Amino acid sequence: MTAPLLSVRDLHVTFGLDEGSVRAVDGVSFDVLPGQVVGIVGESGCGKSVTMRSILQLVDEPGRIKQGEILYRMRAANGQPETVIDLTKLAKRGPQMRAIRGAEIALIPQEPMAAFSPVHTVGDQIIEAIQLHHTQWVPDGSGVSRAKAREIVVELFRDVGISMPEQRVDAYSWQLSGGLRQRAMIAMALSCKPRLLIADEPTTAIDVTTQAQVLALLRELQRKYGTAIIFITHDLGVIAQMANSVVVMYLGRVAEQGPVDAIFHSPKHPYTRALLRSIPSIVGETQVALPTIAGTLPHPFNRPTGCPYHPRCDERKGPECAARVPNLQPVDQGQSVSCFLHHDSSDTQ
Amino acid sequence: MTASHSADTQQPLLQIRDLRKFFPITAGVFNRTVGHVRAVDDVSFDVFEGETLGLVGESGCGKTTTSRCILRAIDPTSGQILFRRKNDEIVDLAKLTREELQPLRAEIQMIFQDPFGSLNPRMTLFDNVGEPLLVNGMTNREERTDRVADLLKLVGLRPEFMHRFPHAFSGGQRQRIGIARALSTNPRLVVADEPVSALDVSVQAQVLNLLLELQSRLGLTFLFVAHDLSVVRHISDRVAVMYVGQLVELAPTKTLFSRPRHPYTSALMRAVPVPDPRIPVGEVTLKGEVPSPANPPSGCYFHPRCRFATDRCKVEAPALREPSPGHFVRCHFADELDLTTAF
């Protein structure tokens, strides 16, 4: 088995507020293998975005990584072998973390409109990133000239399918359509040749036809450069198309994870099963009541005891569900579940 | 659509005829009009009593503008919006003045997309839901309290919540509050503009179920505007597809999804990601961008992106035809193309 590129181990992130502390991420573990697409699914408030921000050390105050490791395998450089570093140990604003953001791990944010500065051209913003991480392009450290960086941007724009790239380099983000802006964002994310791309709902704000184009583009670039992608979305259709493996999150914990086919065709966790049943299908019976998940998401200050899903679970096993927190245990080939229906292992709490 | 359903949907509640809404583009010091954005360009369709008509299309296709014209939130440039009132009198909403519209407002209501922006945060549920009642003459507070309690029960909320403020509720609950408010005046036509697109999957299913249940209990007619094709397919009896301000296809849901006749409809369906990893990803059939409604292409608006376009499509604009009963399509080659999908 190949060694993982990124390995999140028992991550806990809490937000200390006046009313008490919110456990946004409560013991999350998963691996990302090189060149693999990992899909992360979950509803609002499940902690998927906070997990991603933790990887990049971008969690805002009062959020704090309380416990856990985020192990990233740095690529070999300057004759030095690959090293594994714990990102949680690095200073948030330190030079090491800043060298990793963009160059090693890049982010495609959800709203490309908000992510680009409206007062600089998109070209200038990408040129700045390339010149900052110049060793990604010119390893000897002699730097990248502005003219050279501009050439790279034009080439990247052509790669991501932006027509008339020479002109579009000088456009402002508000002059581009939603699809073009998202393509420019992808070009920016790829501009420093990262090995891991975090795509946080990259197609939620765009139309389905543009979404199809952007997803096809990401698949093609992923094949071409072998970039690993963590793909966050609430759209199970997108996950089915994009991911090799899937992590299902609920209330800051991993409910289930496994290969994409297993998650969709033999889901083990009651939450995954309920989630899959509740989406209207493009092939199923119409105008009938959809199966729903009973109740609502509990308030963050009012976390249920035991398994976080037990108050809404329709396959509840017994009193242990309310008493102990099941942890993630392998049950099948590559598939792990945190549910007492499948094992009897729990966290000591 | 079942036979019994089609029998009671014979009578149109709403008839849209040649609806146009152009927004002027102005330039210069004197704000001279230099062109028009043809947001809604010659749209005609019927909405039958008791049915759900889905209206789909990409952003900028004019689906929201159409729904706003029906509510007269904006004034259409030309065309007719014929609405059949309770007493079977037919009125043209497009021609009425503000005062004349007032009594009709109760019969046509709206459910909004954003459950966080559409409720007044400084008003309790009682005031939010009860305001339309007050405006429509229910001045007795006790009577209003009873009605609001009934409405909250109807949408699956506890009447005790009445004196709380919207911030205490989740997105799905707020959408229920918005639905309760829309239903407060006993409307016959409800225009729902993307009512579930801001909600999580599990909550979306709950709200869709609620809408279906309310429709069968109260005999409501829905105009359901959305971009999510699987949601529209699930809830609609018939579906209308818009592209650059024009209606390109309208058909009963099952027919439209199994045998679309317009190349745009078929491309739109192929673009929907299917939640099954075993179904291979199809190639992207729709390339390029939606043209601007300020400067639409010549001939058929869809020809620059159409796989089947011929020279005729570049010069001659197709008219909306009815190649089989109840199936309308705006394409020269609707009878010849085989666009059968996997659905």
* Chain B residues touching residue A213 (CB < 8 angstroms): 284, 286-287
| Residue contact B202–A213, C-beta within 8 A | no
pLDDT band at B6; cut points 50, 70, 90: very low
Confidence (pLDDT) at B28:
82
pLDDT per position as a tens digit, A157-186: 988 888 888 889 999 988 888 778 888 998
Give the ranges where B124-252 is alpha helix by DSSP (H).
Answer: 125-135, 141-154, 171-183, 201-218, 229-235
Residue A77 DSSP one-character state = B
Confidence (pLDDT) at B227:
85
The ranges assigned to domains in chain B are 10-27+35-107+187-272+283-343, 118-186
How far is residue B148's CA from residue A171's CA, in Å, rounded to a whole number? Answer: 52
Q: Interhelix angle for A270-277 vs B201-218, to 10°?
A: 40
The yes-or-no verdict on residue B98 having pLDDT over 60 is yes
Which residues neighbour A127 within 8 Å (Cβ) at sequence distance 6 or greater? A146, A149, A150, A153
Please tell me whether residues A78 and A137 are part of one structural domain: yes
**Looking at residues A152-159, what average pLDDT do you find?**
89
**Looking at residues A135-156, what average pLDDT do you find?**
87
By mean pLDDT, which of A155-169, B171-185, B302-316 is the weakest? Answer: A155-169
Q: Which two tokens stand for residue A119?
A: 């007062």
Residue A2 DSSP one-character state = P
pLDDT band at B3; cut points 50, 70, 90: very low
Question: Which among A235, A260, A289 has CB closest to B212?
Answer: A289
User: Mean pLDDT over all residues of chain A?
Assistant: 88
How far is residue B332's CA from residue B320's CA, in Å, rounded to a whole number? Answer: 9
Please tell me whether residues A280 and A202 are part of one structural domain: no
* Chain A residues touching residue B270 (CB < 8 angstroms): 212
What percent of chain B shows pLDDT beyond 90? 60
Chain A: give the shortest CA distance to residue B194, in Å.
13
Dihedral (CA of B230, B232, B234, B240) sign? negative
How far is residue B227's CA from residue B63's CA, in Å, rounded to a whole number? Answer: 9
CA angle A13/A15/A19 to nearest 5° reads: 145
Please tell me whether residues A200 and A57 are part of one structural domain: yes
DSSP A271-307: HHHHHHHTSPPSSS-SSSPPP--SS-PPPGGGPPSSS
pLDDT per position as a tens digit, B99-137: 999 889 899 999 988 888 889 999 999 999 999 999 888
| Residue contact A292–B229, C-beta within 8 A | no
* Chain A residues touching residue B275 (CB < 8 angstroms): 236-237, 239-240, 264, 276, 279, 281
Chain B: give the shortest CA distance to residue A178, in Å.
10
Phi then psi for residue A178, to 5 deg, are -55, -45
| Residue contact B58–A43, C-beta within 8 A | no
Q: Which residue of chain A is at minimal alpha-carbon distance from B266?
A: A209
Please tell me whether residues A25 and A129 are part of one structural domain: yes
Please tell me whether residues A203 and A280 are part of one structural domain: no
* Chain B residues touching residue A288 (CB < 8 angstroms): 212
User: Mean pLDDT over all residues of chain B?
Assistant: 89
Of residues A288, A308, A307, A310, the one with CA closest to residue A299: A308
**Looking at residues B131-148, what average pLDDT do you find?**
91
| Residue contact B277–A260, C-beta within 8 A | yes
| Residue contact A241–B343, C-beta within 8 A | no
Confidence (pLDDT) at B9:
47
DSSP B56-112: E--TTSSHHHHHHHHTTSS--SEEEEEEE-TTS-EEETTT--HHHHHHHHTTEEEE-
Please tell me whether residues A229 and A264 are part of one structural domain: no
- 3-state class of A329 per DSSP? strand
Please tell me whether residues A311 and A165 are part of one structural domain: no
A347 in any annotated domain: no
Question: Which among B200, B257, B284 has CB closest to A213?
Answer: B284
The yes-or-no verdict on residue A212 having pLDDT over 90 is no
pLDDT per position as a tens digit, A273-327: 999 998 887 777 888 888 888 887 887 788 888 899 999 998 888 888 999 999 9
Confidence (pLDDT) at A113:
75
Last residue of a domain, one of A210, A238, A266: A238
How far is residue B9's CA from residue B49's CA, in Å, rounded to a whole number? Answer: 5
Confidence (pLDDT) at A1:
61
Which residues neighbour A87 within 8 Å (Cβ) at sequence distance 6 or greater? A55, A57, A70, A71, A72, A97, A100
Asked whether the beta carbons of B72 and B257 are under 8 A apart, the reply is no
How far is residue B298's CA from residue A94's CA, in Å, rounded to a whole number? Answer: 57
- Neighbour-count burial for A42-53, b at 16+ CB within 10 Å, e otherwise: bbebbbbbbbbb
Chain A: give the shortest CA distance to residue B92, in Å.
31
Q: Which two tokens stand for residue A341?
A: 């229906």
Asked whether the beta carbons of B160 and B149 are under 8 A apart, the reply is no
The yes-or-no verdict on residue A43 having pLDDT over 80 is yes
Rg (CA), chain B: 21
Question: Which among A44, A177, A287 has CB closest to B200?
Answer: A44
How far is residue A130's CA from residue A116's CA, in Å, rounded to a whole number? Answer: 15
Please tell me whether residues A196 and A260 are part of one structural domain: no
* A177 touches B: beta carbon within 8 Å: yes
- The single-letter code of the amino acid at B330 is R
Residues 35 through 64 of chain A touching chain B, CB cutoff 8 Å: 43-44
What percent of chain B shows pLDDT beyond 70? 96
* A294 touches B: beta carbon within 8 Å: no
Best probe of the B interface among A44, A175, A208, A285, by most B CBs < 10 A, is A208
| Residue contact B272–A292, C-beta within 8 A | no
How far is residue A113's CA from residue A189's CA, in Å, rounded to a whole number? Answer: 15
**Looking at residues A109-119, what average pLDDT do you find?**
84
- The single-letter code of the amino acid at B167 is H
Question: Which among A213, A240, A279 has CB closest to B277?
Answer: A240
Confidence (pLDDT) at B340:
66
A175 in any annotated domain: yes
CATH code, domain carrying A200: 3.40.50.300
A41 in any annotated domain: yes
Asked whether the beta carbons of A254 and A325 are under 8 A apart, the reply is no
- 3-state class of B156 per DSSP? coil
The yes-or-no verdict on residue A72 having pLDDT over 70 is yes
Confidence (pLDDT) at B1:
38
**Which residue has tokens 């004196």?**
B163
| Residue contact B271–A274, C-beta within 8 A | no
Burial class (CB in 10 A: 0-12, 13-18, 19+), B291: middle
| Residue contact B253–A209, C-beta within 8 A | no
Q: Which residue of chain B is at minimal alpha-carbon distance from A272?
A: B202
Edge-to-edge order in the sheet of strand B52-56: B108-111, B189-193, B221-225, B52-56, B238-243, B246-252, B327-329, B321-324
Q: Which residue of chain B is at minimal alpha-carbon distance from A260?
A: B277
* Chain B residues touching residue A210 (CB < 8 angstroms): 58, 289
* Chain B residues touching residue A278 (CB < 8 angstroms): 201-202, 204-205
User: How many domains is chain A built from?
Assistant: 2
By mean pLDDT, which of A28-37, A218-227, B145-154 is the weakest? Answer: A218-227
pLDDT per position as a tens digit, B17-41: 999 999 988 888 888 888 888 999 9
Domain that holds residue A40: 6-238
Residues written for chain B: 343
pLDDT band at B55; cut points 50, 70, 90: very high
How far is residue A319's CA from residue A22's CA, in Å, rounded to a whole number? Answer: 25
The yes-or-no verdict on residue B2 having pLDDT over 50 is no
Question: Which among A180, A241, A290 has CB closest to B208?
Answer: A290
The yes-or-no verdict on residue B56 having pLDDT over 90 is yes
The yes-or-no verdict on residue B335 having pLDDT over 90 is no
Please tell me whether residues A232 and A262 are part of one structural domain: no
Please tell me whether residues A163 and A16 are part of one structural domain: yes
Asked whether the beta carbons of A188 and A221 are under 8 A apart, the reply is no
Please tell me whether residues A232 and A268 are part of one structural domain: no
| Residue contact B201–A213, C-beta within 8 A | no
pLDDT band at A134; cut points 50, 70, 90: confident
Please tell me whether residues A189 and A330 are part of one structural domain: no
pLDDT band at B232; cut points 50, 70, 90: very high
* A180 touches B: beta carbon within 8 Å: yes
CA angle B193/B268/B239 to nearest 5° reads: 50
Dihedral (CA of B2, B8, B14, B15) sign? positive
How far is residue B224's CA from residue B239's CA, in Å, rounded to a whole number? Answer: 9
| Residue contact A265–B278, C-beta within 8 A | yes
Confidence (pLDDT) at B53:
96
| Residue contact B229–A281, C-beta within 8 A | no
Of residues A257, A235, A233, A237, the one with CA closest to residue A245: A257
Residues 206 through 265 of chain A touching chain B, CB cutoff 8 Å: 207-213, 215-216, 219, 234-241, 243, 260-261, 264-265
* Chain A residues touching residue B254 (CB < 8 angstroms): 286
Last residue of a domain, one of A195, A214, A238: A238
Edge-to-edge order in the sheet of strand B12-27: B32-48, B12-27, B78-84, B90-92
Domain B10-27+35-107+187-272+283-343 has CATH 3.30.2350.10: no
A245 in any annotated domain: no
**Looking at residues A250-266, what average pLDDT do you find?**
94
Confidence (pLDDT) at B342:
45
H/E stretch holding A196: strand A196-200
**Looking at residues A188-217, what average pLDDT do you find?**
86
Best probe of the B interface among A209, A215, A264, A273, by most B CBs < 10 A, is A209
Confidence (pLDDT) at B22:
93
How far is residue A321's CA from residue A310's CA, in Å, rounded to a whole number? Answer: 6
Residues 2 through 31 of chain A touching chain B, CB cutoff 8 Å: none
| Residue contact A210–B58, C-beta within 8 A | yes
Kindly list the distances between the CA atom of residue A348 and the CA atoms of A46, A270, A326, A327, A345, in Å, as whole numbers in the listed order.
22, 23, 9, 10, 9
* Chain B residues touching residue A258 (CB < 8 angstroms): none
Q: Which residue of chain B is at minimal alpha-carbon distance from A162?
A: B288
Confidence (pLDDT) at B5:
43
pLDDT per position as a tens digit, B200-210: 888 889 999 99
- The single-letter code of the amino acid at A60 is D
- The single-letter code of the amino acid at A50 is V
